[in-house]
Amino acid sequence: MTRTNEVGETRTAGVAGAPATDAQPVYPHTMRLQRFLARAGVASRRGSEDLMTAGRVTVNGQVATELGTKVDVDRDHIEVDGMPVKLNQGAVYLMVYKPTGYLTTMSDPQERPCVADLVPRDRFPGLFPVGRLDRDTTGLLLFTTDGNLSQDLLHPSKHVYKTYQALVDGHLTDPDLAPLRRGIELDDGLCQPAICRVITAREAEAVAPQGVKPGTTAVEVIIREGRKNQVKRMLSKIHHPVIRLHRCNFAGLELKDVAKGSWRELTDREVQILKAGGIPPKQASAKRGGKPQETPASHTRHHGSHGSAPKRNTYRERYTG
Residues noted as catalytic: 134
Query: Which of 39, 32, 25 is CA-nearest to residue 126?
Result: 39
Listed in order, strand segments (DSSP E) in 136-215 are 137-144, 162-169, 185-186, 189-190, 195-198
Cα within 13 Å of Cα(314), Cβ side: 9
Euclidean distance between CA atoms 256 and 54, whole angstroms: 35
- Using DSSP's 3-state secondary structure scheme, residue 210 falls into coil
The set of residues, in sequence order, having a beta carbon less than 8 Å from that of 291 and lying 6+ positions away, is none
Query: Which of 44, 252, 47, 266 is CA-nearest to residue 159?
Result: 252
Q: Which residues pair with 244 in a beta bridge?
A: 167
- Cα distance between the two ends of the chain: 67
